[in-house]
Amino acid sequence: MDIRSLSRTEAKVVLALEAEGTTDLTLQGIRARAGVSPGFARKLAHELVGKGWLQRVGRGRYLLNPSRHGPDAIADTDPLRLGSRIATPYYFGYATAAELLGLLPQASRVYYVVTPQRGTSRWAHAARFRRVTVDPRRFFGLRPLRRRGETVFVSDLERTVLDCLARPELSGGMNGVVQVLESAGPRLRWSRLVRYLRRLGVRSLELRLGYLAESLQPDVKVPRAWRERARARPDEPYVPLGGAKEFGRRGPHDRRWHVVRNVPEALLRAEVDVR
């Protein structure tokens, strides 16, 4: 592979970034550092991508492949570093968060990036990531996490549990949800979990959580006060434990939580396959 070369104008951009210790760059940043027009900034970006100095991570957004990476144009392949540039604000969620927090033993093959920002990801590595858009009012429960020298944002323990329960298909299926809840159980802060449930305002999520948490005792210690307050009222409709589209709507009825046990017990305890 050819040694990476730089014109005088290209060098202004690259050397300025390295002097600043910055790796993130926009077209506006290229204009400012090179002192060029918008059209010429786009041309510079295209040339720097072609030479391996920049890596496109979004529309008008780039990552620097610094000189310390060596003379060859080796693109950055760290999925956490790349995924954290897909949207702002964001957090890694679902199976990705569960793996990062040690709740699932198997790394996800797809990295789930949760954001209130509308849009799509159209760039070279988009196939490795799935963007999950949420209502801005439901974008909460995240924390910073230091991994491989990079600070990224991930859903915290309680939000991860609720996200996985809400979207099992992004979390290794219902058996993945069971493993997440079992692993998180001893560390769960129920006061925070209950606060999150109130903010989400999804009653079916509360009923399914109550049923699963009670079923997993002693792995999950359910506070008595919450259990007595949250359990189903006599007039409440029943909700399926797993998605009706996948498991149907039939199964034994749990009268305490008004949950239809439509997921086979053997499947709940099966080995997790996170895709």
Q: Is the pLDDT of residue 70 over 90?
A: no
Kindly report, residue by residue over 172-222, the tens digit of the pLDDT. Answer: 999 999 999 999 988 999 999 999 999 999 999 999 999 999 988 777 888
What's at 143, amino acid-wise? R
For β-strands 239-240 and 259-260, DSSP reports them as parallel
Q: What is residue 256's predicted lDDT score, i.e. its pLDDT?
A: 95
Written as six digits, the tokens of 133 are: 């858009």
Residues whose CB is less than 8 angstroms from the CB of residue 91 and which lie 6 or more positions away in sequence, other chains included: 97, 113, 114, 115, 142, 153, 154, 155
Residues whose CB is less than 8 angstroms from the CB of residue 8 and which lie 6 or more positions away in sequence, other chains included: none
Angle at which helices 203-215 and 173-184 pack, to 10 degrees? 70
* Mean pLDDT (the chain, rounded): 88
Kindly report, residue by residue over 1-45, the tens digit of the pLDDT. Answer: 456 788 999 888 989 998 898 888 899 999 999 999 999 999 999
Q: Pick from 173, 154, 54, 159: which is nearest to 112 by CA?
A: 154
Domain ranges of the chain: 8-69, 80-268
**Sign for the pseudo-dihedral over CA of 250, 252, 255, 259:** negative
Tell which CATH classification among 1.10.10.10, 3.40.50.1860, 3.30.230.70, 3.20.20.70 matches the domain 8-69: 1.10.10.10
The secondary element (H helix, E strand) that includes residue 173 is: helix 173-184
- Contacts of residues 266-271 at CB distance under 8 Å and 24 or more positions apart, as own/partner, are 267/173, 267/174, 267/175, 268/174, 268/175, 268/178, 269/175, 269/178, 270/175, 271/175
**Sign for the pseudo-dihedral over CA of 63, 69, 73, 74:** negative
Kindly report, residue by residue over 236-270, the tens digit of the pLDDT. Answer: 999 999 999 899 999 999 999 999 999 998 888 77
